[in-house]
Structure 1
Amino acid sequence: MQAVVDNKKTPVAAVIAVLLRGDEVLLVSRKNPPDVGLWGFPGGKMDFGETMEEAAVRELYEETGVRAHAGQVLTALNAYDKDEAGRILQHFVLLAVLCVWQSGEPVAADDAEDAGWFRLSALQDGTLELSQDVLEVAQLALRVQGVAVS
């Protein structure tokens, strides 16, 4: 089905921080819309004048207290916040930035309800309710880092 386009609204640039530690990925459970209660990567809107990498590192720290430095941009994704009738309320362009862990253990803060490290099997077995594209982005990040993905 073709989406209804509203030329008066513009997409919002946002980042997600894709942080690996060995064969684990850091995820947060959201406490605010969109995706309340779903597990996804820490992230949020970019500030004016902020680079993608700066935004990813800042959002990661604000939501989890974990320090990292930013690496390459892995991919870009569309994310939509929709109402009950399926109308698009907001359109986000998410830039997935691969980050390298420096220090800290995740503690949920800001708009994260919970935070933790998860193996790929936990993302695949259905025990976590995931935001759109989380599994695919995690698999991509692990492959880029040379971790075997099944």
Structure 2
Amino acid sequence: MSVPKLLSSKQEERIFSLFLEHETLRFSEIEKKIGLRSNLLAYHLSILQRNGVIRKTGDCYSLTSGAERYLPSLSHIATGELSPVPVVLVAVMRNKKTLLLKRRIRPYKEYWGVVGGKLRFDETLQDATVRLVREKAGVECEFMSLNTVSHERVRVDRVVKHSFLLFFVKAIVVKDRQSTGLRRDDLRWATIDALPKKGIVPSDRWLLEHKMSSKIPLNRFTMDEKDGNIISFDVQK
């Protein structure tokens, strides 16, 4: 379910926002809170049902499990606000050398950098590390540590254009498959003291030079919810 398809009008945003405070709502309750005519409300509810946003059980409406995922991001969906993008940066190590890739897309096009990419919604850092290195470099790796977390911003004329929350992690090679479509000159192995002098993403270089020996705790919290109540809590370190 994509964000544009989730909510296609201001009225549907208003209906969706009601479920921040309510697990279920009857038609009459929605009508009273929104202030729409019944025929117009029925029209928007039918669209939300067709798009898989809400479901009707008996005479009550509730969010589908897919739509529940968007509740924490409701204000961003409704207002178009942006948040920093969570990015995993991986220092892939082999024989005391780290893997560098040349970026072919923006931002940082034509710059060297470590393997990196977005952290997906349902991934752990460990999962994302293995996936990104496999997809982007054709290398099987093992997650070793979370070294540091940083906030990076890119500005143009002092206006922020990009904002990233960087999870810098270290991994070691367990198998080199070399099965990606990378050109040979898009990949290189380098020791930390022999990093390129120019044409490398400055933050990547700084992390490699200053945070390779760092290590911070990585706690994973998992909570199970049922009918709006937290029924279990688990901590993995």
TM-score normalised over the length of structure 1: 0.76
Displacement of 1:106: 5.2
Aligned mates of 2:91, 2:201 — CA distance in 1: 14
Aligned to 1:42: 115
**How many residues are paired up?**
134
Structure with higher helix content? 2
Structure with higher strand content? 1
Displacement of 1:136: 2.9
Name the stretch that deviates more: 101-110 or 85-94.
101-110
C-alpha distance 10-141 of structure 1, shift in aligned 2 (>3 A) = closer
Structure 1: gaps of 5 or more residues: 1-6, 145-150
1:1-150 → structure 2 map (5 Å cutoff):
8-83=81-156, 85-104=157-176, 109=181, 114-123=186-195, 126-140=196-210, 142-143=212-213
Conserved? CA contact 1:108–1:114, under 8 Å? no
Aligned-partner residue type, residue 53 of structure 1: Q
SS of residue in 2 equivalent to 1:69: strand
C-alpha distance 140-107 of structure 1, shift in aligned 2 (>3 A) = farther
Conserved? CA contact 1:122–1:128, under 8 Å? no
Displacement of 1:42: 0.6
Larger Rg: 2
Aligned-partner residue type, residue 88 of structure 1: V
SS of residue in 2 equivalent to 1:133: helix
Structure 2: gaps of 5 or more residues: 1-79, 215-237
Q: Cα deviation per residue 1:34-91 (whole Å; 9 max; x = unaligned)?
A: 11111111111111110111112111111110110111101112223444x3422221
Aligned-partner residue type, residue 131 of structure 1: V
Aligned mates of 1:104, 1:141 — CA distance in 2: 25
Aligned mates of 2:179, 2:201 — CA distance in 1: 20
Question: Over aligned residue pairs, what C-alpha RMSD do you find?
Answer: 2.6
Q: Cα deviation per residue 1:80-133 (whole Å; 9 max; x = unaligned)?
A: 3444x34222211110111111011657647xx71121122321xx54421122
Conserved? CA contact 1:23–1:142, under 8 Å? no
C-alpha distance 39-92 of structure 1, shift in aligned 2 (>3 A) = same
Aligned-partner residue type, residue 123 of structure 2: E
